[in-house]
Structure 1
């Protein structure tokens, strides 16, 4: 066992094992809009490279140093199933993206680090944007300099263009299924949602 852990081939096999769940996970990562079209290409390239290295390293590994996955009766069926599973997950993800939220706007203000992406889920034609009972909006924020986003807010509403006051961007609500809210504010310095503004608050003001 000690000899196995010190073998470079053993660690190469572990790299392959670690890359398998990564391939599926990447398909569910929220990318910035300009990178969305490259995500399926990157996943398929990653899949091909992973399979190529799996066969190459398996042929270079002695039988007594192969992990269980690299045994013949497991390796070939698993690789076949996984090769079919990754494109399936990718197609499901693309179908959800097509039927679900669509990117409609990007907001970035000078000297403030946060970039916001607005995604809307609208009524299916021929209905109007707000005729159905499921229309909604997501506000996503870019994670540092990575081409990845995280969801800051999900709202059963549509927003107007934001108004910037200092570091705070306030999004007035154009239409909403939750009539208690009239606006949502986001701190563009720290990328955090400020407490939503409700009608009761504006009445007191």
Structure 2
């Protein structure tokens, strides 16, 4: 990249810091930005700076928010006896899209992963245990991702929550709606069989 002027090289390097962006995509994005109208580029830059400056973590559920506590934690219509534990803030948005869950959330900001050096102290487990001890929680739904790390986190949390004498549940896994059995892998099919219910 030495053959580009320094501002372009810096822009490419900046894009490469984003997850999933390699050198070619970063280069394509950099040149796209150069071809944009200046006011559009300034709007993007302003949005980036505003997001970084004005967003923080909710003091209750650890979700990303622009007010503290967040709108979910302030909502008196939500069921406070149920907490749904998710890995990332984007998982809260996914749960809300279903329009099925009306309880509270807790965002871990990651999952246990010894291979990556992520232990219990690196995610928001302490805050969850404090909430369960302080609030009138009757059920904790573990909605971590169905990955090795997500499953390990769910198992670890279920053991930690056992002494609190509350209902601990795990979201069901299995076949997505509209999928064909022949294309499903063995793990997905076995999870679908485990989670079967009577009709």
TM over 0.5: no
Answer 1 or 2: which has greater helix percent: 2
Answer 1 or 2: which has greater strand percent: 1
What TM-score, normalized by structure 2, do the two folds share?
0.31
